[in-house]
Structure 1
Amino acid sequence: MVLLFKEELMANLALSVVATVGLVWVGQFPGWTFKSLFGCVFAVNFGVQLFWDVLIYPYFVSPLRNLPRVPGMVSQLTILMDTPRGRLPLQWMRDIPNDGLIHFRGAFNASYLIATNHQALLDIMSTNTYDFEKPWKAREFLARIIGFGLILSEGNAHRVQRKALTPAFNIKNIRALYGLMWDKTNVLLGELEKEARANPMEGMSSGNSGKVEMTVWASRLTLDVIGPVAMGRDFQSITHKENKVADSFLAILEPSREKLVFLGVNFVFPQWFARLIPGMGRLHKVIDDETGYLRRVCHEIVREKRIALKTQKVDTQELEADILGTIMLRGEFSDDELVDQMLTFLAAGHETTASALTWACYLLCLYPDVQERLRQEIHATIPSSTSQVTWNQLESMPLLNGVCQEVLRLYPTVPATVREAIRDTIVAGTSVPRGTRITLCPYATNRSPHFWGATGEEFIPERWIDTDEKGNKTVNHHGGAPTNFAQITFLHGQRSCIGKDFARAELRCAVAGVVGRFAMEMQDPNQEIHIAGAVTTKPREGMHLKMTTMEGW
């Protein structure tokens, strides 16, 4: 709502002061004190502004008034608290005819938009990217967890940071990491076998089958990959169950309903006010304690690298072995800024793939025929888990690529995000006033019938597979969609995820290793899995699998 913006209130205050001084100057209202006269004038100004913002502007003046609209009032909190997050926008995309924008009204008739087609998504994420920013309340809260790194920076600060960090994520560097990713995947396979043997299914003796909860293992694997890549630190969380770094991320990102409510409160209210709300104190303490610990770890690693650099204990090539060393050599960031970047890479760099690996296991349990065909493809390409793999092997397997792409499409790690116009701009041919908030919803866009037809919500890895003139199966990267904006799991343009190729490579390794070594089933085939999570997407119930070791691989 326009009058809720600080500048609008300040304008009202200034106008009231001027009006009151003028009335006193000309001698009107004798006997009134300045205070009472000011209060009266301010109330009138405020009331007029309220009348304009709520009853006149939205219906008769706003350039958004004629857009296709969702009936009734829908708050952003409703979308945030929806399960799964993105269900309502997908329903609107399916049911409301539109030309790229759907309009809905929140409290006090404030206008909100949802982008639905190629042109709208192109304008927001590419053409007019820097006309939009993440709302300050959301940024302020998320910065407590991941710092003001690349994800939360805006404007020129973002341009500078992205330019400095992009070289570390070129495709040549990513492909050089496949060896590390495969080695860590093999460590995971060994631990999964141990857990399965130690937890046989009821009525079965200990053997090559057993129970495994996959979400925690997926998170530990990806943490042990991003640690060496981002900062040269192997956390060894796969082999050390008592691992404070892994436990801290688990405590922060636990997919509970309570955490989702907590997120909503902190996105809607200023931090100082959110801390005063009864019942939220425990979660604020969890965030403060765990992020405080993670920040101290990152500061320690930065300090160690600074000392090594000053004393010339490491050469340039050794320092450039990880992202932190690479950007330290450029000399463009202070230590606090480096810590913010490390927190961002640690959180985003391992949570994206951990979530995707968990959902990949789930989908392959639901589609055992796909799981079996994928295993055959993996065994035909990679002789054993201990064989060295090449990037070409992993990137050229059609079904592996198709499964990973479908997982990322159907279960985006961040199912919805919000942008706010910081100036008047144009989206899909419509004038969008400054202050308007637009929802980008990967969960809905990635399943939208506008892009994917009637099968948009179905798991069909084959949509990512072509057949060449010789009848050979080959990888495609579009899934049959008419535009690359049909899948926005990693967004696009200047604000796209800088680590998207890293995440895809890591997911290929992890899925190839797990499916190659194990046959998977749900422990309870009748269990209903709910898409939950506060910041990221996780199964509320966890992912409880029966895993059977495939001998000889």
Structure 2
Amino acid sequence: MSFTFPLPLPLPLAIAAVAIPYVLWRVFGNFFIRSPFDNIPGPPSSSWFAGNLLKLVDHDAWSYTDDLIQTYGPVAKLHSLLGARWLHVYDPRALHAIFVKDQEKEIFTRDPLAVTGAGILLGPGLLATAGAAHRKQRRMLQPVFSVAHLRNMAPTFYGIAKKLRTAIESRVRDGPQKLDVVSWMGRTALEIIGQSGLGYSFDPLVANAKDEYTEAVKSFIPTIVEIEFMRVVIPFIGYLGPAWFRRWLLNLIPQKSVQRMKYIVDTMYERSKEIFEAKKALIESGDDAMLHQVGEGRDVMSILLRENMRASEEDKLDDEQLLSQMSTFIMAGMDTTSNAMSRVLHLLALNPGIQEKLRSELANARETYGDEIPFDDLMALPYLDAICRETLRLHAPATLVFRTANVDTVLPLMEPVRGVDGTLTSEIAVPKGSQVVANLRAVNTYKAIWGEDAHEWKPERWLNPLPRSLEEARVPGIYSHLMTFVNGSYSCIGFKFSQLEMKTVLYVLVSSFKFELSDTQIHWNFSGVVYPATSKDSAKPEMWMNVSLAP
């Protein structure tokens, strides 16, 4: 008997015979693979394609995440794109393992999609790097956010806050006026980060003039929410050819929000490049020239450029990395802090007794120190500090943080979890590549450690001893037992900067004006950075309040 062997397949067909099953397995394999997360209780999938993801990132996801927290507790399984399983976590011990333990080994790192997305939108700055590259950048940046440098920046903060006061006074001098407070907070935050961060003035705060760059920055986060669907494309961007070809493909997408984001990124890049080149030329011309510029050479970027020039070749950052830090400073420092300040003013309007008590403390300080209270005395004002801490506890500007396991690992738990099969487990196996969703708001309001009033805004809690259960839980935050600024290698490098900014602006504003609710609704949108709008159907940042001179 003889056998006839078929002729070899043509090369394209042979490649297809191998590639198509591989692609199908990569796309649909999650539906057939068992995961250690499958024994963890969690909500059912809402869609075979998107799982629970669309509900989790919806701009009105408050009720969904609240139900997730209340129904399933500190650990739950979520369904993501194409059958992938994620872990939703706010157990303090698990968070310690994710954010703090073995930082150098980077067992958990930033979500690769988020890193890639930040790189596309902002360039290779601090938000778009991981591992050794991230450590190198952070090592260079860390000294410029020290308390010593913040003390030098304080006069700049006060100067801008007083310009804001003058602008508002001119509008309310003849009686209460309805103002878009979040717009004023955004303009102020941009000017503070501009002058003290970049040594550049974006907004004189004296008129309602619209600046192209300012409008682009303010639209960044709301537009990101609108193009969340682009997450599906991000893993494949590297395979779409050179940058010019990807740009050509981007121009073909008819979605208005995508084209708006392209315009925002282009606008931010061009202005950042203009500022960077001018700043670099000034630095090279000598310090005398800097004394006549905004910030007088004490801004973060000037210090960073000088330090970079002195650094060894091994530690130096290239121009592209330095340029990217500028957009990163703006995006990381503007919306988060401006929306946090807006939230404080909203809460003070909801609680007029607390507003009056704060104003009394600020008035006493003003009698002693005048318009510019020294840095250490400002930071030590007890009621102002309590209000800031309580607001950042209950209303963290960023609600969810995503991390990816780089190796197979195990998460320990403070409280055992009962699995779907009825067994109790005090640790969870996490396979390499798994996505973990850390819920910062949930751990900041976890009743088991904060007490039954954890969901109430009570600044007085910070004027009394904190619950012993909180001390015992050892929440791994870098600020006041809170996860608001997270911890570890990827913690918020500018959290002290934001504290000084909040307190300076509130010191000047609340001592001068009274803030009350208006007839326009205030709805806080669930987003990468939570922001206010006039309804849950609006993506435009707005917060209209009645403002009058303080009694």
Shorter-chain TM-score category? Answer: 0.7 to 0.9
2:147 corresponds to: 171
From 255, 261, 267, the counterpart of 2:226? 261
1:413 corresponds to: 397
CA contact (8 A) 1:75 1:105 kept: yes
Q: For 1:50 and 1:183, locate their aligned partners in 2 and report how far apart those are by CA, in whole Å.
A: 55
CA contact (8 A) 1:70 1:104 kept: yes
1:532 corresponds to: 525
What is the TM-score when the length of structure 1 is the normalising length? 0.81
From 361, 365, 369, the counterpart of 1:377? 361
1:433 corresponds to: 431
Find the residue that maps to 1:242 and give its secondary structure.
coil
Find the residue that maps to 2:57 and give its secondary structure.
helix
From 125, 141, 166, the counterpart of 2:117? 141
Answering whether residue 268 of structure 2 is matched by residue 294 of structure 1, we say: yes
TM superposition shift of 1:452: 2.3
The residue type equivalent to 2:184 in the other structure is W
Answering whether residue 150 of structure 2 is matched by residue 150 of structure 1, we say: no
2:100 corresponds to: 126
Q: For 1:51 and 1:251, locate their aligned partners in 2 and report how far apart those are by CA, in whole Å.
A: 36
Q: For 1:89 and 1:124, locate their aligned partners in 2 and report how far apart those are by CA, in whole Å.
A: 21
Q: Please give the per-residue CA displacement for 1:235-270, whole angstroms capped at 9, x wherever unaligned.
A: 2342252333322212323x4xx75231x1122323
CA contact (8 A) 1:82 1:88 kept: no
1:334 corresponds to: 318
CA contact (8 A) 2:156 2:192 kept: yes
Q: For 2:329 and 2:184, locate their aligned partners in 1 and report how far apart those are by CA, in whole Å.
A: 19
Q: For 1:162 and 1:517, locate their aligned partners in 2 and report how far apart those are by CA, in whole Å.
A: 38
TM superposition shift of 1:368: 0.8
Answering whether residue 218 of structure 2 is matched by residue 223 of structure 1, we say: no
Give matches, 1:12-411, under 5 Å.
30=6, 33-34=9-10, 53-55=30-32, 57-58=33-34, 62-73=35-46, 74-81=51-58, 83-84=60-61, 87-97=63-73, 101-129=75-103, 130-197=106-173, 207-240=174-207, 241-253=209-221, 255=222, 260-262=225-227, 264-270=228-234, 281-312=255-286, 314=288, 321-329=298-306, 330-331=308-309, 332-383=316-367, 387-411=371-395
CA contact (8 A) 2:111 2:403 kept: yes
The residue type equivalent to 1:266 in the other structure is M
2:474 corresponds to: 483
The residue type equivalent to 1:514 in the other structure is L
1:201 corresponds to: none
2:537 corresponds to: none
Q: For 1:49 and 1:300, locate their aligned partners in 2 and report how far apart those are by CA, in whole Å.
A: 43
1:452 corresponds to: 450
Relative to 1, partners in 2 of residues 1:380 and 1:478: Cα closer, same or farther, differing over 3 Å?
A: farther
TM superposition shift of 1:313: 5.6
The residue type equivalent to 2:357 in the other structure is R
Answering whether residue 470 of structure 2 is matched by residue 504 of structure 1, we say: no
Q: For 1:155 and 1:505, locate their aligned partners in 2 and report how far apart those are by CA, in whole Å.
A: 29
Percentage of identical aligned residues: 22
Find the residue that maps to 2:128 and give its secondary structure.
coil
Find the residue that maps to 2:398 and give its secondary structure.
coil
TM superposition shift of 1:518: 0.9
Q: For 1:192 and 1:383, locate their aligned partners in 2 and report how far apart those are by CA, in whole Å.
A: 22
Q: Please give the per-residue CA displacement for 1:65-110, whole angstroms capped at 9, x wherever unaligned.
A: 333333445432320115145x534433322255xx3222334432
Worse-superposed segment, 420-429 or 272-281: 272-281
CA contact (8 A) 1:410 1:443 kept: yes
Q: For 2:136 and 2:79, locate their aligned partners in 1 and report how far apart those are by CA, in whole Å.
A: 36
State how many pairs are aligned: 496
TM superposition shift of 1:32: 7.5
CA contact (8 A) 1:385 1:517 kept: no
The residue type equivalent to 2:153 in the other structure is L
Q: For 2:145 and 2:25, locate their aligned partners in 1 and report how far apart those are by CA, in whole Å.
A: 53
Q: For 1:406 and 1:328, locate their aligned partners in 2 and report how far apart those are by CA, in whole Å.
A: 36
Q: For 2:20 and 2:231, locate their aligned partners in 1 and report how far apart those are by CA, in whole Å.
A: 29
Q: For 2:61 and 2:25, locate their aligned partners in 1 and report how far apart those are by CA, in whole Å.
A: 40
TM superposition shift of 1:40: 5.6
Worse-superposed segment, 128-137 or 450-459: 128-137
What is the TM-score when the length of structure 2 is the normalising length? 0.81
Q: Please give the per-residue CA displacement for 1:108-134, whole angstroms capped at 9, x wherever unaligned.
A: 432100122111111111114422333
Find the residue that maps to 1:412 and give its secondary structure.
coil
2:512 corresponds to: 517
The residue type equivalent to 1:302 in the other structure is F
CA contact (8 A) 1:125 1:491 kept: yes
Q: Please give the per-residue CA displacement for 1:279-331, whole angstroms capped at 9, x wherever unaligned.
A: 75322332222322222222222222332333336489998512212221223
Q: Please give the per-residue CA displacement for 1:11-30, whole angstroms capped at 9, x wherever unaligned.
A: xxxxxxxxxxxxxxx97763
Q: For 2:550 and 2:16, locate their aligned partners in 1 and report how far apart those are by CA, in whole Å.
A: 78
Q: Please give the per-residue CA displacement for 1:329-380, whole angstroms capped at 9, x wherever unaligned.
A: 2231222211100111112122221011111111111111111111111111
Find the residue that maps to 1:64 and give its secondary structure.
helix
Find the residue that maps to 2:515 and give its secondary structure.
strand
1:13 corresponds to: none
**Which consecutive residues of structure 2, in runs of 5 or more, have no partner in the other structure?**
241-245, 310-315, 413-426, 535-541
CA contact (8 A) 1:133 1:422 kept: yes
What RMSD in Å do the two structures reach over aligned CA positions?
3.2
CA contact (8 A) 1:196 1:547 kept: yes
Relative to 1, partners in 2 of residues 1:96 and 1:281: Cα closer, same or farther, differing over 3 Å?
A: closer
CA contact (8 A) 1:149 1:337 kept: yes
TM superposition shift of 1:497: 0.2
Q: For 2:178 and 2:61, locate their aligned partners in 1 and report how far apart those are by CA, in whole Å.
A: 27
Q: For 1:238 and 1:344, locate their aligned partners in 2 and report how far apart those are by CA, in whole Å.
A: 23
Q: For 1:519 and 1:319, locate their aligned partners in 2 and report how far apart those are by CA, in whole Å.
A: 34
TM superposition shift of 1:49: 7.6
The residue type equivalent to 1:483 in the other structure is R
CA contact (8 A) 1:102 1:116 kept: no
Relative to 1, partners in 2 of residues 1:371 and 1:213: Cα closer, same or farther, differing over 3 Å?
A: same
Q: Please give the per-residue CA displacement for 1:188-243, whole angstroms capped at 9, x wherever unaligned.
A: 1111122234xxxxxxxxx2321111011001111111112112112234225233
1:443 corresponds to: 441
